[in-house]
Structure 1
Amino acid sequence: MTSYVEGALIQDEKIVHIGHISKWSLWHLIALGILLLPVVIGLFFLLQAYIRYKTTELAITTKRVIVKVGFIRRSTVEININKVESVQVDQSLLGRVFDFGTLVISGAGTAQAPLHGIAEPLAFRKAFIEAQERATAGA
């Protein structure tokens, strides 16, 4: 089964960096799931954490930033790499310790797109800046 990102690629577009949601950002769902497992409702929380983890995709390609969240109700953001004005990183103390945070992608004419609980957000931002520089140099 191909991912949303792979299926969305256009001709001559290649994936440069793939980001993931951090399992640490789902700690509250996992903890509730384990605590409430004897009451069966814990399965609901564990399933919710699993679905959120598996259905969040984000990638930087040679041409754009692609984000897909959700399974049944899907939400996508695709911004041309040359139209992105900034990629901000917001990390709490827990996020700094376990290396996850919120990315806020702002583009020309595009509303801000916050992405919560992303693993290694500084590495994602660095990969984006490098891809944007390569795209600008190649234009």
Structure 2
Amino acid sequence: MSYIEESLSKGEYIYQIFPHHWMVRVAIAIHFIIGFITMGIWLIPAILIWLGWRNTEQGVTNKRVIYKHGIIARKTDEMRLSAIESIIIKQGILGRIFGYGTVIVTGRGAGDVAIKWMADPIRVKREIESADHIEAEAA
């Protein structure tokens, strides 16, 4: 069971889980290729990067935005939908070309939630705004 599923409160349900962009797999593959070229010297960092990617969850429920990462220790960034003030999209040149970016959710009284390597960040922004709209209607 995923962290997001485990952490659901009463009446809360998962609205959307956000997958990473396929470029993450390319970056991980490059790290493993470097590991083989360096005769295993870079293999441990490559494995740690892969495990970090495998243990990252990001999504939105009808009540909050969640970003969880960590291999052994767990770090979560969560924000209630009612506390969201703005959603910022950051895309570099390659991000614009290949369709990935970082979505930063800012809000009142809490730190920002930055969700990196998002496929189609504009869709992610729309999904978060739609979930916020659903929560507002339910209240």
**TM-score range normalised by the length of the shorter chain:** 0.7 to 0.9
Instruction: Tell me the percent identity.
Output: 28
Map of 2:131 onto structure 1: 131
Q: Runs of 5+ in structure 1 lacking a partner?
A: none
Classify the secondary structure of the residue corresponding to 1:105.
Answer: strand
Map of 1:8 onto structure 2: 7
1:27 shift after superposition: 4.0
1:123 shift after superposition: 1.4
1:41 shift after superposition: 2.4
**What is the RMSD of the two structures over their aligned residues, measured on CA atoms?**
1.8
Counterparts of 1:52 and 1:20, CA distance in 2: 14
Q: How many residue pairs are counted as aligned between the two chains?
A: 138
Say yes or no: does 1:64 pair with 2:64.
Answer: yes
Contact 1:25 1:100 in 2 (8 A): no
1:121 shift after superposition: 1.6
Q: TM-score with structure 1 length normalisation?
A: 0.88
Classify the secondary structure of the residue corresponding to 1:59.
Answer: strand
* Range with greater deviation from structure 2 (83-92 or 19-28): 19-28
Counterparts of 2:89 and 2:46, CA distance in 1: 27
Contact 1:67 1:76 in 2 (8 A): yes
Q: TM-score with structure 2 length normalisation?
A: 0.88
Contact 1:106 1:113 in 2 (8 A): yes
